[in-house]
Amino acid sequence: MNTEEKNPSPDSADTTQADSGIAVGSILDGRYEILEQFGEGGVGLVYRARHIKLGLTVAIKVLQEQFVLHKMMRPRFEREARALATLAHPNIVSVNDFGIADGRPYLVMELLEGQTLRELLNRGPLPIDQVTQVTRQLLNALAYAHAHGFVHRDLKPSNVFIQHLPDRSLHIKILDFGMVKFVDQETHDGSRSLTRSGMAVGTPSYMAPEQVIGDRIGTSTDVYAIGILLFEMLTGRAPFTGELADIVRRQLTDKIPALGQANAHLEVSAELEALIQRAVDKNPSRRYPNAASLLKAFEALPNPPAMRKDVSLDATIAASWNSAATFEATRPIDSRKAASSKLRALRTAARWAGILFIWLGKAVMRLAQGLFRLSRWLVKGLFATIKALYRVAKKAGPRKVAWAMFIFIALALGTWFWLDGGARRLLEPRRGTSIEKPATLKRVRTAIEEKLRGLIPATEQAAESAADLQASESTLLARDDRDESDTEPARTATSDSSKSAGANSGNRDRSRPAAANPWADRKVPRILAAYRKRIFRGEKLSEKALKSLRDYQRNHRSDPRPSLLLARAYMVLGWYRDAVERYLLAYKLDARSRGDKHMERDLLEIVRYPKLSYTAAQAVLEIYGAEALKAIDRDLASSSVDDNAKTALRRLRERIVEGARGE
């Protein structure tokens, strides 16, 4: 809330009379209901009030009764209203209204919640980071006021109000601009005589020497007060204390002590020490001329500008000052200098990056201008050519123009046919050879394989296997066209065919080709590659995706890879019986497809399930036979396979061994 330091006014001739003020509950000027009095300054009383119509709670400052008719105080109070009304800054308390009621001038201001800097300094020095925040905002507000021709003249801790924002940062407001004076101006209400009256208005501990002796003051007077405030925030006490006469004498004659001497726990950079000493110089001409120049020098200080030798002490100060405030431990001076050098390097790099960016922008602009000029020149040339051709055609006549067009078209067509025919073949002989060579080798290899197959006599088992392949393929493809409700009969029929085919697994044709990876010997179509990637990631395919794979299988009946993908997709979905059928179909389409790295592993995994153990075992016997013994032995030796699964695998191994002996 707004409060003021309770110091007697030096302008008053008689301050002994007690002012009863305005009664609580009364209506001021027909608009404001007085709720309570919560502050009293040297020349005014501060009340909490409520606007009757708006319901807005405000702070009202009323001039004390003994100063109402005083020839100096009432004009000064009225000037406060005009000054504050023109100063619109987030760090200066705003004035909402002004008036005179019952002969008393009053000032309506925003009601602030928080505490003054004086209340905080009574607990001791402030944390370094909080000192930086408060000083920066103070200088911003004063720089704005100085730029508009105002001097505060009474800067002190009780006139600096601090609010704690929700983000735990600080926001300050400067109070009591009633002592301001227009710099190098003369108003129409006699304010020039007020500034020349020789009065020493202010608080002695923060008054500049020229203010103490009633000499001419200016913006450097506020700079002096800021230097004293900065000293007190860092050390916890003002540089000059004691009796009033002693303070005034030392303000005129003594130099303020160094910060390190005033507080042994404080380590200050040389730049900050020089800044404060210049700000509080006894000669106004040697100080910073105004708050803007002091702010510029303050921003150029190292970060942080000071540190406490005992970091825990700084943390204790921060905790006692405001429990909700954030605190960061300050760094040593050496690390601060290293950080400053890094910052300078970053600034240099940023500056060169900006220069490079501007240079590139200019280059792009010039290139664009050149392209625009070139295009404009081409367009002009095209129009000039068309115009010239039109003039020639007009002069030659329509018949000659028609003959010229005919000859041009004939030459163009002849050139195109020549380039598209023999010339193109002459220009691309090497490319054609490189394309045809692999295809020719592939055809030769295929022809040799067919010749070798022809030398092997066909057996009854091969014919039976071909018939079985045709039956299995037709059954699965027919089942793909049915609904889910019709799948069970087809599935049973296919299982029966797999059983009958597996019954003769011990007498398979030994001349089948060696196992090979079906994905490595030829190019994989894009649709199969996409689905294969999704399936191997463990993704469950939708019914739409499964139908797409079935359609591809139907259109490419000799390709076993769609069946392999469908089998793997069924394994992911948990449709193990369908997976066995698809693996059998892939094997029958191409016996080499048993080299797929998932087929043998999936079939042996299905063997472990009691309901499908026999069906999967029959498929392993038919597709792999003795080739599966190595994988079965590996699973039997694994500790991750349970006893029931090992029992099923042992039965399958015995069947494979018996079949091999029977052969």
CATH number at residue 124: 1.10.510.10
pLDDT digits (tens, 9 = 90+) for 313-365: 454 544 444 433 333 333 444 544 555 677 778 888 998 999 999 999 999 99
Residue 178 pLDDT more than 80?
no
Same domain, 586 and 622: yes
Q: What's the pLDDT tens digit per position in 374-404?
A: 999 999 999 998 888 888 888 888 888 888 8
Q: Would the pLDDT of 462 be above 70? A: no
Cis check for the bond before 513: say yes or no (omega within 30 of 0): no
- Is 587 a member of any domain? yes
Same domain (yes/no): 190, 100: no
pLDDT tens digits along 533-565: 888 888 888 888 888 888 888 888 788 888 888
- Average pLDDT over the chain reads 76
The verdict on 497 and 574 lying in the same domain is: yes
Domain range for 42: 27-110
The reported pLDDT for the residue numbered 510 is 53
Backbone angle region of 114, left / alpha / beta, with phi > 0 → left and psi within -120 to 50 → alpha: left
Closest CA to 77 of 61, 92, 88: 61
d(C-alpha 173, C-alpha 168), whole Å: 16
Q: Are residues 531 and 618 in the same domain?
A: yes
Q: What is the pLDDT of residues 47-96, one digit of tens each?
A: 999 999 888 999 998 888 777 777 666 677 777 677 777 788 889 888 88
d(CA 135, CA 229): 9
630 domain-assigned: yes
Residue 251: pLDDT above 90? no
Pick from 321, 344, 379: which residue ends a domain?
321
**What CA–CA distance (Å, rounded) separates 302 from 304?**
6
Boundary-marking domain end, from 321, 340, 368: 321
Which backbone phi and psi does 35 adopt, to 5 degrees? -100, -45
What residue type is 302 in one-letter code? P
Residue 10 lies in a domain: no
Contact 80, 66 (CB under 8 A): no
* pLDDT band, residue 483 (cuts 50/70/90): very low
Q: Are residues 101 and 132 in the same domain?
A: no
pLDDT at 635: 84
- Helix and strand numbers, DSSP H then E, in the chain: 25, 13
- Same structural domain, 89 and 141: no
Claim to verify: residue 522 and residue 594 sit in the same structural domain: yes
> What is the rounded distance in angstroms from the CA atom of residue 346 to the CA atom of residue 358?
18
Residues 432 and 489 placed together within one structural domain of the fold = no
pLDDT category of residue 175 using cuts at 50, 70 and 90: confident
Together in a domain, 157 and 86:
no
Alpha helices in 237-332 (DSSP H): 244-253, 259-262, 270-279, 291-299, 311-321
Pairing of the two strands 306-308 and 181-182? unpaired
Strand order in the sheet with 44-51: 27-28, 32-40, 44-51, 57-63, 104-110, 95-101
Higher pLDDT, 515 or 450: 515
pLDDT above 50: residue 491: no
Give the C-alpha separation, 183 to 219, whole Å: 8
Residue 374 falls inside a structural domain? no
Higher pLDDT, 419 or 550: 550
Buried b (16+ CB within 10 A) or exposed e, 272-293: beebbeebbbeebeebbebbbb
* Distance separating alpha carbons of residues 81 and 96, to the nearest angstrom: 9
121 CB-side CA count, 13 A: 22
pTM: 0.46
Q: What are 625's two structure tokens?
A: 């036979």
- Both 47 and 122 in one domain: the answer is no
User: Are 549 and 522 a contacting pair, CB within 8 Å?
Assistant: no
Confidence label for 453 from pLDDT (cuts 50, 70 and 90): low
The crossing angle, in degrees rounded to 10, of helices 219-235 and 291-299 is 40
CB 49 within 8 A of CB 25: no
Q: How far apart are CA 81 and CA 104, in angstroms?
A: 13
Give 421's DSSP letter. I
Q: How far apart are CA 254 and CA 272, in angstroms?
A: 20
CB 172 within 8 A of CB 138: yes
246-260, 285-299, 441-455: range with lowest mean pLDDT = 441-455
Indicate if 122 and 200 belong to the same structural domain: yes
Q: pLDDT, tens digit, for every residue of 150-171?
A: 888 889 998 899 988 887 788 9
CATH number at residue 37: 3.30.200.20
468 noted as active-site residue:
no
Closest of 157, 304, 278, 164 to residue 223, by C-alpha:
278
What is the per-residue pLDDT for 505?
Answer: 44
Collapsed DSSP state (helix, strand, coil) of residue 152: coil
In a domain, 423, yes or no: no
As a whole number of angstroms, the distance between CA 64 and CA 87 comes to 24
**Counted domains in the chain:** 4
Strand segments (E) across 334-487: none
Q: Which of 14, 29, 102, 154 is catalytic?
A: 154
Looking at 321, 343, 377, which one is the last position of a domain?
Answer: 321
How high is the pLDDT of residue 233? Answer: 92
Same-domain status, 143 and 257:
yes
| Distance between CA atoms of residues 317 and 131, nearest Å | 12
